[in-house]
Amino acid sequence: MGLIWTLIVGGLIGLIAGALTKRGGSMGWIANIVAGLVGAWVGQALLGTWGPSLAGMALIPSIIGAVIVVIVTSFVLSKLN
């Protein structure tokens, strides 16, 4: 059950990051989960684990990290096309 909860929270973090950057509309739910989980890792590595936590992820640094991941990914993909 812990893995499912982590995937759900990761998907929500990715969804929020996509909505904040206005670049998440074309992302599917798998990309939202990946962006959320990678963003959580990046955000907590850069900013620490402060703020409210859910499923082992500090929410505020995770959302900031996911925003960074979405922006960088969309920039790289736009350069490839």
Q: CA angle 35-30-15, nearest 5°?
A: 50
Alpha-carbon gap, residue 14 to 64, rounded angstroms: 10
| 53, burial (CB in 10 Å: exposed 0-12, middle 13-18, buried 19+) | middle
Residue 71 within any structural domain of the chain: yes
Residue 17 within any structural domain of the chain: no
Residue 18 within any structural domain of the chain: no
State the pLDDT at residue 1: 66
State the pLDDT at residue 15: 86
Residue 14 within any structural domain of the chain: no
| 75, burial (CB in 10 Å: exposed 0-12, middle 13-18, buried 19+) | exposed
Q: Which domain holds residue 62?
A: 52-80
Residue 37 within any structural domain of the chain: no
State the pLDDT at residue 21: 84
Phi, psi of 50 (to 5 degrees): -90, 165
Alpha-carbon gap, residue 57 to 80, rounded angstroms: 32
Residue 38 within any structural domain of the chain: no
Residue 5 within any structural domain of the chain: no
- pLDDT by residue, tens only, the chain of 81 residues: 688 888 888 888 888 888 888 776 666 778 878 888 898 889 889 988 888 888 888 889 999 998 998 888 888 877 877
Number of domains in the chain: 1
